[in-house]
Amino acid sequence: MTRRTSSREFKLTVVQAVDSGEVRPAQACREYQRAESGLNRWRHEVRVRGAAAAFTPVDTPTPARDDEARIAELERVCGQLAVENAA
């Protein structure tokens, strides 16, 4: 099978049909011409993240924001040490 992209709605529809028992996984794969491994990944994501959050980008903090916060903290500490050394 070739690699395809599927919409979020399509994935949720197929997963809900399989999980409700409406169709069996192998039948859904044949009917929609999808690999079973892909269907298993979709089902796992719905179980882990829930139907509302599944197939949406995960909000993770970007390294740039983490780095900026770390730099600001280190600058604050350096300023305190400079004041202590001057005294």
- Asked, for residue 12, whether it belongs to a domain, the answer is yes
CA dist 69 and 64 (Å) reads: 9
Q: Could you list the residue range(s) of the whole structural domain that residue 34 is in? A: 8-86
Angle formed at CA 40 by CA 35 and CA 43, multiple of 5 degrees: 130
- Asked, for residue 2, whether it belongs to a domain, the answer is no
- Asked, for residue 1, whether it belongs to a domain, the answer is no
- Asked, for residue 13, whether it belongs to a domain, the answer is yes
Segment 3-10 mean pLDDT: 86
Domain count, the chain: 1
User: What does the pLDDT look like over 16-75, one tens digit per residue?
Assistant: 999 999 999 999 999 999 999 999 999 999 999 898 888 888 775 556 677 888 898 999
**What is the predicted pLDDT for the residue at 62?**
59
